[in-house]
Structure 1
Amino acid sequence: MGNPQLAKAAFDFEQYMRRVSGGPCFVCAFIAGDPGYRHHLVYENEDSIAFLARYPTLLGYCLVASKRHLESWVHDMEQREFLRFQGIVHAVARAIAATLPTERMYSMSLGSQEGNAHLHWHLAPLPPGVPYDQQQFHAVMAENGILGVDDDSQAALARDIRSRIQL
């Protein structure tokens, strides 16, 4: 699926902050079909959705979210629902790793009441060969640059990942 270590471009963090703090919930807007919040779909069922990140720092970086606007997996999900959701996170992560060379799959729940409050999980596949000082938090922080991926490549990658999901 191409070189997993593509060149990175500068990330306009100020514009991003305006968008997330002043715009609608990005997950709800995507689910509603708002063209300004379009993403490449990787997986969808009645409760959950997975899609490629709009500003990827690593090739194959996906987000997995509940379709319901939940803001806390600790307070808003019962254990059974959380475990079912994590089964989807796991299946998507395995599909990403089956699609792209992956040394380590980073998985984290990020967001804030000030922006991106909708509960979502980040799946970020670290490719082999990345120097240690560019791994872990450095690898996932947009402030360190985002990949210059084009829409057609992202669409093809989403299709490839989607074809490998096994639940």
Structure 2
Amino acid sequence: MPDQQRTPWDEDAYLRRVRAACFVCETLAGNPEYHHHVLYRDDATVVFLPRWPWLAGHVLVAPVRHLERVVGDFPVDDYLRLHRVLHATGLALERELPTERLYVLSLGSQQGNRHVHWHLVPLPPGVPYEEQQLAALGTERGWLDVPAEEQADLADRLGSRLAGLLAD
């Protein structure tokens, strides 16, 4: 994996945070303790860069409404609408950043991070196979320490690409 500034993962702080409040709902409410760089929002979906990315360009896509089950809480039309945004977000990422493989996964639990969301994580080209897949996403590596101004710039660029894709 290319050399990047990383910060060790603090498991205890993470567990306290994800059990204290819904990070998606708090982000949408404008709580500064849960600030994330939003690159797109409509009445049903929000797309943002997480504060603790695994890799450069790591993006989260979530419904605006607090839903907890990945498929069971969605009427099919709402699910497909959200996944249209997810698809366009993936295209925006692949067009903005060199990407060997785009990982798309939903994580969370009824015990923390209950608000359903999808992670889109672009794996850069040239990463040795042993450092790809779950190894690229492991907390033992820590999180990528990206300055806020770089995250804001990336959010602007991705947001512009995404708006263009969704307008088509």
- TM-score, length basis structure 1: 0.94
Q: For residues 148 and 73 of structure 1, what CA distance do their matches in structure 2 show? A: 29
> What is the SS of the residue equivalent to 1:116?
coil
Q: For residues 36 and 60 of structure 1, what CA distance do their matches in structure 2 show? A: 21
Aligned to 1:12: 10
- Give the aligned CA root-mean-square deviation in angstroms: 1.4
Q: Which runs of 5+ in 2 are unaligned?
A: none
Q: For residues 5 and 89 of structure 1, what CA distance do their matches in structure 2 show? A: 28
Aligned to 2:78: 81
Q: 1:6 is matched by which residue type in structure 2?
A: Q
How many residue pairs get matched? 164
> What is the SS of the residue equivalent to 1:164?
helix
Q: For residues 73 and 63 of structure 2, what CA distance do their matches in structure 1 show? A: 11
C-alpha deviation, 1:50, in angstroms: 0.5
In the TM superposition, what are the counterparts of 1:105-124 in structure 2 within 5 Å?
105-124=102-121
In the TM superposition, what are the counterparts of 1:150-165 in structure 2 within 5 Å?
150-165=147-162
Q: 1:12 is matched by which residue type in structure 2?
A: D
Q: Which runs of 5+ in 1 are unaligned?
A: none
Aligned sequence identity (%): 47
More strand by share: 1
Q: For residues 117 and 39 of structure 2, what CA distance do their matches in structure 1 show? A: 14
C-alpha deviation, 1:9, in angstroms: 2.3
Q: 1:127 is matched by which residue type in structure 2?
A: P
User: Can you list the C-alpha shifts for 1:115-158, whole angstroms capped at 9, x where unaligned?
Assistant: 00001010000000111111001112233221121101100011
Runs of 4+ in 1 over 3 A off after TM superposition: none
